[in-house]
């Protein structure tokens, strides 16, 4: 952000110093724009806004660095809090991985595995998140969630990628069908092949979209020995207790309870005992 | 020849040395495990008792018991009180005292007290029990309470008779009965509220002071604090005079609500002051063997009201005004299962207060253990790492001055509880597994990586869906436009008709303008142009290439031969004349006026021709 301000200032001064010299049309237009902006007092506004953004950015950067320092000092609850503050501004796989490590070392297996699942959601190819999830499942003796075939497809790329792919496929197919006719191109196999490709991409992406939607219902048990109840009431009969870090698929909600399905069984669990990979 | 020792001597010397060495080694081993005996530590009281010589207790048989009975004072006026006092040198429990005393009916027996004291005679402890009755004489005369026999041991102890002389009022000066004086710091109290009680024994003749022993309070429902007892000899104002008195002051606490009649009883004990005494004033303390006389006081009534409603949580019986000191927590960062000490303190305002420390509350996240008496602390042990605050300890007290409960709750402290750490490394590694789990946790990520605004998938955000559909909508619009264009290409007459209508509208405006301006020349030109334009699509041809005859072909026979046809011919004749530079009429002005009148007809013709487009 500091570099951006410097560049802005240099450009501003360059245009002002270029008066009287032969200039390109673009530069002349830029000069007019800066003159106009200057009259409106926008220069100060832009610099102030840039500084504000720079400050905000540096503030978030501080939480990440702070969290790392606290973790290395052994202050795991404080480190976790710092990483969570960082995540409030922007979500990133690095901060989620570090949050998971801090939570794990603080003894919260459920929260740690949830953080790593989120990191994997953002970046399926993050090696740290994958490694830590495998390690944690080995330690806590829980299994990875069972994904349906379309959910497995959706896990290959980040969720946003499938959205864009679907869009690109749709545009490609629509454009390949419409534009040749509009521009009266000679009929050939090229546009039709492109249209077919676009439709194929769209259908594949659409399938993955369903997988993404399905995966948003996945959650992780946060607390150790969380009870799985027969009915959505506090006094409900307990079917079994769940391990922290166990994956669950949330099917419906009622009041303060979710009906979940795990590998061990299905039942109701209190809201505070489940964390969604994608927050509702 | 050298002096050489024989082999047997050498052998025996070696044996002796080995024996000595072995004994020393054994001694060293044994002494290492021997510990010196620790001296027995005695508690201080026991140690003092062991050091001080103590008189023996008199355990002599029954024949040595004696008893006395007397009225004190022996002479009273009618209506005055006296005390019938029986003293037996036996223990109280050994005496089966009768419930009723046979006495003359003129003597009214009132409240009675009894008490026991241990007196030292010679080098022995002797018990002494007194029974004292308040007696009021209703008539003058000499009255004798007969003696009685008490079956204490063998032979039974005889209580001698006692005689009371009752005189007429104001005839003889009598000595008033000696009594204790009782003073209480108030009359209205609450259960558990301590109050000060003073028992006074005024000096006898010659400012002779006697101590009091075995002080007891009668009345029930009262608890006295023996640790708060204070003795003094001081000048006390009584009946307008300052008189020396032995004062024994203590703190009492009523236990039950209601009306309590309190009286005191104690034995006079001469110079036997049991404990430190503060003496002020000039007094005499007699020496010698004390005369143990059981005295009582007049009863006083106090009212103990029940506590009002509105008891706050955590009320343990603490009475009085207290101010909370700052609590102290030994640490605010601890692990699950690690104890932490919470110290609290309350300092009273005033000395008549009662402090009962708060009880440990129940908490799901904490195990709370009260400290030892006097420590004013709790030991808190977190059970889970979800605890972020120490438990609130409810506590309240009652202030008798304001008659209200007030809160002294010990607030919660923020803490950080660290749970049991999970392993960061695994020891086992199964090489046979196809995809073995990693052995340890990864290191920290040095950078954030690719950032996002939120975890929510883009597809669930409305703007994304709209952004995806916009190009599609655009392509659809483009396709529709192309379809329209193709249609118009296949049907050019539609284009021509549309163009003709557009052009006609423009020319009509010009006609209107020319007619309004009275410009016949322009009127004729525009009218002719309009007619050409409106019929041009029918041919199709360029409008300027058409003539009046072409226009007439678009009218039916009736119209052609009628007014409409006439109008067309006139307009085109005038237009042609203008084009040729001639006039159709010898009077140009009249011709112009005639042309302008044709405006309505021209409009009618144009309307009909436009309808045919």
**Which residue carries 């399926």 as its tokens?**
A124
Q: How far, in Å, CA of A161 to CA of A153, rounded?
A: 12
Q: Quick check: A234 contacting B, CB < 8 Å?
A: no
Q: What is the DSSP string of A24-86?
A: -HHHHHHHHHHHHHHHTTHHHHHHHHHHHHHHHHHHHHHHHHHHHHHHHTT-HHHHHHHHHHH
Note whether B138 and B108 are within 8 A (CB): yes
Once rounded to an integer, what is the mean pLDDT over residues A248-275? 93
Binary contact (B476, A159; C-beta < 8 A): no
Selected residue with higher pLDDT from B435 and B612: B612
Partner-chain contact A174 B447, CB within 8 Å: no
Render pLDDT for B182-203 as a digit per residue (tens, 0 to 9). Answer: 999 889 999 999 999 999 999 8
User: What number is the average pLDDT over the span B557-564?
Assistant: 91
A151 touches chain B (CB under 8 A): no
Whether residue B418 and residue A77 make contact (CB cut-off 8 A), yes or no, is yes
d(CA A124, CA A212): 13
Strand pairing report for B396-399 and B377-382: unpaired
- Tell whether B385 lies on the interface with A, counting CB pairs under 8 A: yes
Q: Is A124 on the interface with B (CB under 8 A)?
A: no
Nearest CA in chain A to B388: A77
Q: Are A42 and A33 in contact (CB under 8 A)?
A: no
State chain B's mean pLDDT as an integer.
85
Chain B residues touching A151 at Cβ < 8 A: none
Separation between Cα atoms, residue B151 and residue A257, nearest integer Å: 82
Can you tell me the mean pLDDT for B228-249? 89
Q: Which residue of A has its CA nearest to B420?
A: A107
Residue pLDDT, tens place only, B485-514: 999 999 999 999 999 999 999 999 999 999
CB A116 within 8 A of CB A280: no
- Residues B442, A101: C-beta atoms closer than 8 Å: yes
Instruction: State residue B449 phi and psi, 5-degree precision.
Output: 90, -160
pLDDT for position A101? 95
Report the relative pairing of strands B300-304 and B188-189 from DSSP bridges: parallel
Q: Do A97 and B442 touch (CB under 8 A)?
A: yes
The nearest alpha carbon in chain B to A214 belongs to: B457
Which residue would you say has higher pLDDT here, B49 or A73?
Answer: A73
Q: In what order do the strands lie in the sheet with B141-145?
A: B75-77, B162-167, B141-145
Q: Based on the number of CB atoms within 10 Å of its own CB, is A90 exposed (0-12), middle (13-18) or buried (19 or more)?
A: middle
With H, G, I as helix, E, B as strand and everything else as coil, classify residue B454: coil
Residue in A252, A185, A260 with CA at minimum distance from that of residue A221 = A260
Question: pLDDT > 70: what percent of chain B?
Answer: 86
Per-residue pLDDT of B34-62, as tens digits, reads 555 555 555 555 555 556 566 666 566 54
- Is A94's CB within 8 Å of B416's CB? no
Q: How many CA atoms lie within 13 A of B104 on its CB side?
A: 20
pLDDT tens digits, B92-109: 888 888 888 888 998 999
Q: Do B426 and A139 touch (CB under 8 A)?
A: yes
pLDDT, position B1? 45
Q: Bigger pLDDT: B220 or B116?
A: B116
Report the alpha-carbon distance of residue B570 to residue B549 in Å, rounded.
12
**Residues of chain A positioned with their CB less than 8 A from the CB of B464:** 163
Among B324, B307, B318, which Cα is nearest to B403's?
B307
Question: Is the CB of A104 less than 8 angstroms away from the CB of B424?
Answer: yes
Label residue B389 by pLDDT band (50, 70, 90).
very high
Whole-number pLDDT of residue B66: 82
Asked whether the beta carbons of A112 and A100 are under 8 A apart, the reply is: yes
- Across the interface, whether the CB atoms of B479 and A90 are under 8 A apart is answered no
Q: Give percent helix, percent strand, percent coil of chain B, each to the nearest 5.
A: 30, 35, 40
Residues of chain A neighbouring B476 (CB-CB closer than 8 A):
174, 178
Report the percentage of chain A scoring pLDDT > 90.
Answer: 59
List CB contacts (< 8 A) between A134 and chain B.
437-438
Contact B457 A159 (CB under 8 A): yes
pLDDT at B383 (0 to 100): 87
> Is the predicted pLDDT of residue B438 greater than 70, yes or no?
no
CA of B483: which chain A residue's CA is closest?
A: A182
State residue A42's pLDDT score.
Answer: 59
Start-to-end C-alpha separation, chain A: 33
Test B444 with A213 for CB contact under 8 angstroms.
no
Encoded tokens for A257: 């309870």
Q: Nearest 5°: phi and psi at B304? A: -110, 110
Separation between Cα atoms, residue A63 and residue A99, nearest integer Å: 12
Q: Is A174 on the interface with B (CB under 8 A)?
A: yes
How far is C-alpha B303 from the geometric centre of its chain's CA atoms?
Answer: 34
CB-CB contact of B533 with B507 (8 Å):
yes
CB contact under 8 A, A278 and B456: yes
Q: How far are the Cα atoms of A107, A145, A260, B367, B592 from residue A223, in angstroms, in the given order?
A: 11, 17, 15, 20, 104
Residue B422: which of A79, A223, A101 has the closest Cα? A101
How are the residues of chain A apportioned to helix, strand and coil, as percentages rounded to the nearest 5? Answer: 65, 10, 25
With a cut of 80, say whether residue B4 has pLDDT above it.
no
| B468 contact A CB<8A | yes
Weakest-pLDDT range from A50-64, B32-46, B530-544, B570-584: B32-46
Chain B within 8 Å of A175 (Cβ-Cβ)?
Answer: yes
Instruction: Please check whether residue A117 touches B, CB under 8 A.
Output: no
Cβ neighbours of B287 (radius 10 Å): 8
pLDDT band at B430 (very low <50, low <70, confident <90, very high): low
Q: What is the pLDDT of residue B400?
A: 92
Q: How confident is the model at residue A10 (pLDDT cuts 50, 70, 90)?
A: low
- Residue B569's alpha-carbon distances to A204, B562, B574, B601, in angstroms, are 75, 11, 8, 12
Check if A164 contacts B (Cβ < 8 Å): yes
- CA separation for the pair B407, B311 (Å, rounded): 10
pLDDT tens figures, B455-485: 888 888 888 888 888 888 998 999 899 999 9
Residues of A in contact with B443 (CB under 8 A): 128
The CA distance from A117 to A111, in Å, is 10
Rounded to whole angstroms, how far apart are CA atoms B475 and B467? 14
What's the mean pLDDT in B354-372? 91
Which residues, numbered 12 to 71 in chain B, qualify as contacts with chain A under a Cβ-Cβ cut-off of 8 Å?
none
Q: What is the pLDDT of residue A268?
A: 95
Contact A128 B423 (CB under 8 A): no
Residues 35..94 of A with a Cβ closer than 8 Å to B: which?
A: 64, 68, 71-72, 76-78, 86, 90-94
Q: Give the pLDDT score at B2.
A: 47
Query: Which residues of chain A lie closer than 8 angstroms to B472, CB-CB?
Result: 170-171, 174
pLDDT of residue B24: 74
- Spacing of C-alpha B541 from chain mean position: 101
Residue whose tokens read 């990133």: A92
Instruction: Please judge whether A92 and B448 are an interchain contact, meaning their C-beta atoms are less than 8 angstroms apart.
Output: yes
- C-beta atoms of B438 and A178 within 8 A: no
B124 pLDDT band, cuts 50/70/90, is confident
Cβ contact A94–B452 (<8 Å): no
User: CB–CB of B458 and A164 under 8 A?
Assistant: yes
| Chain A residue nearest residue B456, CA to CA | A278
Name the nearest CA neighbour of A121 among A238, A243, A247, A225.
Answer: A247
Model confidence at B10: pLDDT above 50: yes
Partner B contacted by A205 (CB < 8 A): no
From residue A176, alpha-carbon distances to A230, B260, B391, B485 in Å are 55, 107, 69, 19
Q: Could you tell me the pLDDT band of residue B387, with boundaries at 50, 70 and 90? A: confident
Is A78 within 8 Å of B445 when comparing Cβ atoms?
no
> Distances from the Cα of B268 to the Cαs of B201, B405, B553, in angstroms?
9, 43, 159
Lowest mean pLDDT among A123-137, B389-403, B504-518, B582-596: B582-596
Residues in chain A within 8 Å Cβ distance of B487? none
Question: Across the interface, do A122 and B450 touch by the CB < 8 Å criterion?
Answer: yes
Q: Are B501 and B610 in contact (CB under 8 A)?
A: yes
The residue in chain B having the minimum alpha-carbon distance to the alpha carbon of residue A90 is B453
pLDDT at B585 over 60: no
Among B424, B459, B463, most A C-beta atoms within 10 A, so best to mutate, is B459
> B450 vs A93: CB contact, 8 Å cut-off?
yes
Q: Rounded to 5 degrees, what angle do the CA atoms B597, B601, B602 make?
A: 95
Tell me the shortest Cα–Cα distance from A77 to chain B, in angstroms. 7
For residue B315, what pLDDT band results from cuts at 50, 70 and 90?
very high
* pLDDT on residue A18: 47
Residue among A210, A207, A122 at smallest CA distance from A159: A122
Quick one: average pLDDT of A230-244?
Answer: 91
* A154 touches B at CB < 8 Å: no
Is the CB of A280 inside 8 Å of chain B's CB atoms? no
* Mean pLDDT, rounded, of chain A: 84
To test the contact with chain B by mutation, choose from A131, A143, A199 the residue with the greatest count of B C-beta atoms within 10 A, namely: A131
Rounded to whole angstroms, the Cα distance separating B355 from B304 reads: 19
Nearest CB to B419; choose among A71, A108, A277 = A108
Inspect the interface and report whether the beta carbons of B476 and A174 lie closer than 8 Å: yes
Going from the C-alpha of B367 to that of each of B49, B378, B379, B387, the distances in angstroms are 43, 10, 8, 12
Q: Is the pLDDT of residue A88 over 60?
A: yes
**Cα atoms in the 13 Å half-sphere on the side-chain side of B141:** 10
Q: Which residues of B touch A128 (CB under 8 A)?
A: 442-443, 445
Question: Are the beta carbons of A97 and B421 separated by less than 8 Å?
Answer: no
Whether the pLDDT of residue A97 is over 90: the answer is yes
Rounded to an integer, what is the distance from CA A23 to the centroid of its chain? Answer: 45
| Chain B stretch 486-525, residues whose beta carbon is closer than 8 A to a beta carbon of chain A | none
Q: Are B380 and B390 in contact (CB under 8 A)?
A: yes
Q: Which of B549, B312, B302 is nearest to B409 (CA)?
A: B312
């Amino acid at each position: 952000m500091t570099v951006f301000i410097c560049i802005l200032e240099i450009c501003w001064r360059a245009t002002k110093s270029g008066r009287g010299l032969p200039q390109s049309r673009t530069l002349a237009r830029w000069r007019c724009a800066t003159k106009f902006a200057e009259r409106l007092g926008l220069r100060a506004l832009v610099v102030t806004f840039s500084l504000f953004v720079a400050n905000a950015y540096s503030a978030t950067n501080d939480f990440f660095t702070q969290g790392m320092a606290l973790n290395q000092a052994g202050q795991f609850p404080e480190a976790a809090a710092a990483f969570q503050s960082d995540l409030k501004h922007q979500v990133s796989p690095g901060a989620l991985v570090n949050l998971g490590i801090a939570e794990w070392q603080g003894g919260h297996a459920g929260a740690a595995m949830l953080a790593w699942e989120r990191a994997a959601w953002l970046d399926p190819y993050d090696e740290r998140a994958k490694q830590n999830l495998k390690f944690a499942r080995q330690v806590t003796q829980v299994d990875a969630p069972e994904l349906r075939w379309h959910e497995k497809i959706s896990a290959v790329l980040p969720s946003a990628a499938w959205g864009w792919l679907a869009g690109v496929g749709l545009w490609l197919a629509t454009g390949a069908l419409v534009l040749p006719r509009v521009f009266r191109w000679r009929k050939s196999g090229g546009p039709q092949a492109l249209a077919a490709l676009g439709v194929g991409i769209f259908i594949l992406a659409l399938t993955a979209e369903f997988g993404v939607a399905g995966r948003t219902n996945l959650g992780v048990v946060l607390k150790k020995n969380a009870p799985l109840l027969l009915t959505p009431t506090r006094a409900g009969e307990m079917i079994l207790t769940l391990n922290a870090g166990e994956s669950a698929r949330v099917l419906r909600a009622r009041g303060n309870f979710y009906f979940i399905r795990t590998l061990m069984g299905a039942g109701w669990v209190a809201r505070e005992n489940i964390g969604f990979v994608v927050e509702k | 020849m050298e002096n050489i020792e024989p082999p047997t001597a050498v052998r025996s010397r070696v044996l002796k040395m080995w024996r000595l060495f072995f004994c020393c080694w054994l001694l060293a081993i044994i002494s290492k495990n021997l510990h010196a005996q620790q001296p027995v530590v005695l508690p201080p009281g026991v140690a003092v008792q062991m050091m001080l010589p103590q008189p023996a207790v008199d355990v002599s048989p029954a024949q040595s018991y004696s008893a006395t009975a007397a009225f004190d004072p022996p002479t009273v006026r009618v209506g005055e009180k006296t005390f019938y006092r029986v003293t037996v040198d036996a223990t109280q429990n050994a005496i089966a005292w009768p419930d009723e005393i046979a006495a003359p009916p003129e003597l009214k027996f009132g409240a009675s007290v009894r008490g026991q004291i241990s007196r030292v005679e010679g080098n022995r402890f002797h018990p002494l029990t007194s029974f004292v009755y308040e007696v009021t004489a209703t008539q003058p005369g000499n009255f004798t309470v007969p003696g009685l026999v008490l079956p204490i041991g063998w032979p039974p102890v005889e209580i001698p008779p006692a005689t009371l002389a009752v005189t007429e009022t104001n005839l003889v000066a009598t000595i008033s009965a000696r009594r204790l004086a009782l003073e209480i710091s108030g009359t209205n109290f609450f259960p558990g509220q301590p109050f000060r009680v003073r028992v006074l024994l005024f000096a006898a003749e010659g400012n002779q002071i006697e101590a009091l022993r075995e002080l007891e309070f009668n009345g029930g429902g009262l608890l006295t604090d023996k640790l708060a007892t204070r003795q003094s000899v001081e000048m006390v104002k009584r009946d307008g005079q300052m008189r020396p008195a032995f004062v024994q002051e203590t703190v009492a606490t009523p236990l039950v609500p209601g009306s309590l009649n309190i009286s005191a009883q104690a034995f006079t004990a001469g110079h036997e002051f049991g404990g430190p005494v503060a003496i002020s004033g000039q007094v005499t303390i007699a020496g010698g063997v004390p005369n143990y006389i059981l005295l009582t006081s007049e009863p006083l009534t106090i009212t103990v009201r029940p506590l009002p409603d509105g008891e706050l949580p955590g009320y343990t019986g603490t009475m009085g005004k207290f101010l909370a000191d700052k609590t102290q927590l030994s640490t605010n960062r601890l692990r699950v299962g690690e104890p932490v000490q919470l110290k609290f303190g309350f300092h009273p305002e005033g000395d008549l207060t009662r402090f009962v420390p708060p009880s440990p509350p129940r908490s799901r996240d904490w195990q709370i253990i009260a400290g030892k008496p006097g420590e004013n602390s709790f030991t808190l042990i977190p059970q889970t790492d979800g605890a972020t605050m120490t438990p609130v300890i409810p506590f309240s007290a009652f202030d008798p001055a304001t008659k209200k409960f007030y809160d002294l709750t010990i607030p919660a402290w923020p803490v950080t509880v660290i749970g049991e750490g999970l392993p960061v490394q695994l020891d086992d590694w199964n090489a046979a597994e196809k995809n073995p789990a990693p052995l340890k946790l990864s290191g920290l990520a040095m950078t954030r990586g690719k950032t996002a605004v939120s975890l929510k998938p883009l597809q669930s955000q409305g703007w994304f869906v709209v952004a995806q559909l916009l190009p599609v909508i655009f392509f659809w619009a483009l396709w529709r436009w192309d379809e329209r264009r193709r249609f118009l290409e296949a049907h050019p007459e539609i284009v021509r008709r549309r163009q003709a209508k557009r052009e006609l509208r423009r020319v009509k405006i010009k006609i209107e303008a020319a007619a309004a301006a009275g410009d016949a020349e322009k009127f004729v030109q525009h009218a002719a142009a309009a007619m050409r334009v409106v019929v041009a699509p029918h041919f199709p041809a360029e409008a300027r290439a058409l003539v009046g005859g072409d226009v007439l072909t678009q009218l039916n026979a009736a119209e052609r031969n009628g007014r409409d046809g006439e109008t067309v011919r006139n307009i085109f004749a005038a237009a042609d004349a203008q084009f040729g530079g001639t006039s159709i009429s010898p009077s140009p002005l009249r011709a112009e006026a005639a042309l302008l009148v044709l405006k309505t007809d021209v409009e009618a013709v144009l309307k009909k021709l436009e309808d045919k487009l």
